[in-house]
Amino acid sequence: MFLQGYLPSILEGTVLTLQVAVASLAVSVVLGLIGAMFKMAPSKPLVWLAELYSTLVRGVPDLVWMLLLFFGGQMLINDFCTRMGWQAPEINSFFAGVMTIGFIFGAYMTETFRGAIMAVPKGQMEAGLAYGMSPLRVFLRITFPQMVRFALPSFSNNWLVLVKSTALVSVIGLNDVMYRADTAKSITQEPFTVYAVVGLIFLAITSVSDFALKRLEKRYSLGVRETEL
Partner 1 sequence: MIDFNLIVEKLPAFLGGADGAPMMSTSDGLQLTLELLFLSLACGLLLAVPLALMRVSKNRVASSLVWLYTYVFRGTPLLVQLFIIYYGLSQFDWVRDSWAWEYLREAYACAILAFTLNTAAYTTEIIAGQIRNTHYGEIEAAKAMGMSKWLMMRRIVIPSALRRALPAYSNEVVMMMQSTSVAGLVTLADLTGVARRVFSDTYMPFEPFITVACFYLVLTFGFVWLFKLAERRWLAYLAPRKH
Listed in sequence order, the residues at least 6 apart from 94 whose beta carbon sits closer than 8 Å to its beta carbon are: 16, 19, 20, 174
Task: Give how many residues touch partner 1 by CB under 8 A.
Answer: 38
Q: ∠ CA 55-66-156 to the nearest 5 degrees?
A: 65
The 48-67 site mask, x for binding partner 1 (CB under 8 A), equals --------x-xxxxxxxx-x
d(CA 178, CA 185): 10
Say whether residue 207 binds partner 1 (CB under 8 A). yes
Between 78 and 124, CB nearer to partner 1? 78
The 165-204 site mask, x for binding partner 1 (CB under 8 A), equals x-xx--x------x--x---x---xxxxxxxx-xx--xx-
Say whether residue 208 binds partner 1 (CB under 8 A). no
> Which positions from 74 through 93 interact with partner 1, judged by CB under 8 A?
74-75
Between 60 and 127, CB nearer to partner 1? 60
Contact predicate 31/111, CB 8 Å: no
CB of 225 to partner 1, least distance (A): 22
Q: Of the candidates 115, 118, 108, 114, which has an alpha carbon nearest to the alpha carbon of residue 53?
A: 108
What is the SS3 assignment for 222? coil
Listed in sequence order, the residues at least 6 apart from 142 whose beta carbon sits closer than 8 Å to its beta carbon are: 120, 124, 125, 127, 128, 133
Between 133 and 167, CB nearer to partner 1? 167
Contact predicate 109/35, CB 8 Å: yes
Between 98 and 168, CB nearer to partner 1? 168
Binding site residues, partner 1, CB under 8 A: 56, 58-65, 67-68, 71-72, 74-75, 160, 164-165, 167-168, 171, 178, 181, 185, 189-196, 198-199, 202-203, 206-207
